[in-house]
Amino acid sequence: MDPTTTLEFARMRAARQIDFRISTSRRAEFAAENEHAPPAPTELLARLGLLLAIALGFGLVAQIIVGVPA
């Protein structure tokens, strides 16, 4: 194996790890800044839709288990 290729590979890998650490720390800072911020309207609607889908899924499963005709 060529030593220059190995060295270049090691440099590229180290650069990617540094970029990942920087982006991870930026995400952590952003999360800390917005920890107590109220959710956006689209986020509220997404959460409400998810809860509605879960509730309908539980209702459907209960109806199938009990066997009540629709």
pLDDT per residue, tens digit, the chain (70 aa), is 555 577 777 777 777 766 666 666 666 666 666 667 788 899 999 999 999 999 999 999 998 899 876 5
Confidence (pLDDT) at 50: 96
Collapse the DSSP code of 68 into the 3-class scheme (helix H, G, I; strand E, B; otherwise coil) and give the result. coil
Query: Can you give the pLDDT at residue 11?
Result: 75
pTM for this entry: 0.46
